Amino acid sequence: MFPESHTGYSYEDCMATAVWLLAQTAVRPLVGIVCGSGLGGLADMLKDQVVFNYRDIPNFPQSTVHGHAGRLVFGTLKGRPCVCMQGRFHLYEGYPIQKITLPMRIFKLLGVETVILTNAAGGLNQDFKVGDIMIIKDHLNMPGFAGNNPLIGPNDERFGVRFPCMSDAYDRELQQLAMDVGVELGYGDFLKEGVYCVLGGPSFETIAECRMLHKLGADAVGMSTVHEVIVARHCGMRVFALSLITNKAVMDYDSEEKANHEEVLETGKQRAEQLERLVSTMVTRIGHNNYS
Ligand SMILES: O=P(O)(O)O[C@H]1O[C@H](CO)[C@@H](O)[C@H]1O
Ligand code: HPA
- Answer for the pair 118, 84: CB distance below 8 angstroms, yes or no: no
Strand 71-77 to strand 80-86: parallel, antiparallel, or no bridges (unpaired)?
Answer: antiparallel
Q: For ligand 1, what atom is nearest to the CA of residue 223?
A: 14
| Distance in angstroms (rounded) separating the CA atoms of residues 20 and 291 | 32
| Distance in angstroms (rounded) separating the CA atoms of residues 281 and 184 | 10
| Distance in angstroms (rounded) separating the CA atoms of residues 229 and 211 | 25
- Answer for the pair 79, 48: CB distance below 8 angstroms, yes or no: no
Query: Nearest residue CA, atom 11 of ligand 1?
Result: 223
Complete domains list, the chain, with CATH: 2-247+258-285 (3.40.50.1580)
pLDDT given at position 8: 76
Whether the CB of 224 sits within 6 Å of ligand 1:
yes
Q: Tell me how far the alpha carbon of residue 117 lies from the centroid of ligand 2, in angstroms.
A: 16
pLDDT given at position 4: 45
Please give the DSSP secondary-structure letter assigned to residue 204: P
Query: Nearest residue CA, atom 1 of ligand 2?
Result: 122
Residue 267 main-chain phi, psi, to 5 deg: -65, -35
**Per-residue pLDDT tens for 147-187?**
999 999 999 999 999 999 999 999 999 999 999 999 999 99
Q: Is 224 annotated as a binding-site member? A: yes
**Per-residue pLDDT tens for 243-286?**
999 999 999 999 999 999 999 999 999 999 999 999 999 999 99
pLDDT given at position 63: 86
- Answer for the pair 142, 197: CB distance below 8 angstroms, yes or no: yes
User: Is residue 3's pLDDT more than 90?
Assistant: no
**Residues near 243 by beta carbon (within 8 Å), at least 6 away in sequence:** 36, 118, 119, 120, 121, 133, 134, 136, 194, 196, 220, 222, 225
Q: pLDDT grade, residue 39 (50/70/90)?
A: very high
H-assigned helices in the chain: 11-22, 41-44, 97-100, 102-110, 142-145, 172-184, 207-215, 226-234, 261-285
Strand partners, 50: 74
Strand 238-248 to strand 133-141: parallel, antiparallel, or no bridges (unpaired)?
Answer: antiparallel
User: Is the ipTM of this structure higher than 0.95?
Assistant: yes
Q: How many CA atoms lie within 13 A of 292 on its CB side?
A: 7
Q: pLDDT grade, residue 55 (50/70/90)?
A: very high
Taking the CB of residue 77, how many other CB atoms lie within 10 A of it?
A: 23
pLDDT given at position 6: 56
**Residues near 271 by beta carbon (within 8 Å), at least 6 away in sequence:** 131, 133, 244
Residues with CB under 6 A from ligand 2: 120-122, 204-205, 221-223, 246-247, 249, 259, 264
- Answer for the pair 245, 132: CB distance below 8 angstroms, yes or no: yes
Helix 261-285 with 172-184: angle, nearest 10 deg: 100
Q: Is 158 annotated as a binding-site member? A: no
**Per-residue pLDDT tens for 213-244?**
999 999 999 999 999 999 999 999 999 999 99
| Distance in angstroms (rounded) separating the CA atoms of residues 135 and 118 | 10
| Distance in angstroms (rounded) separating the CA atoms of residues 151 and 230 | 8
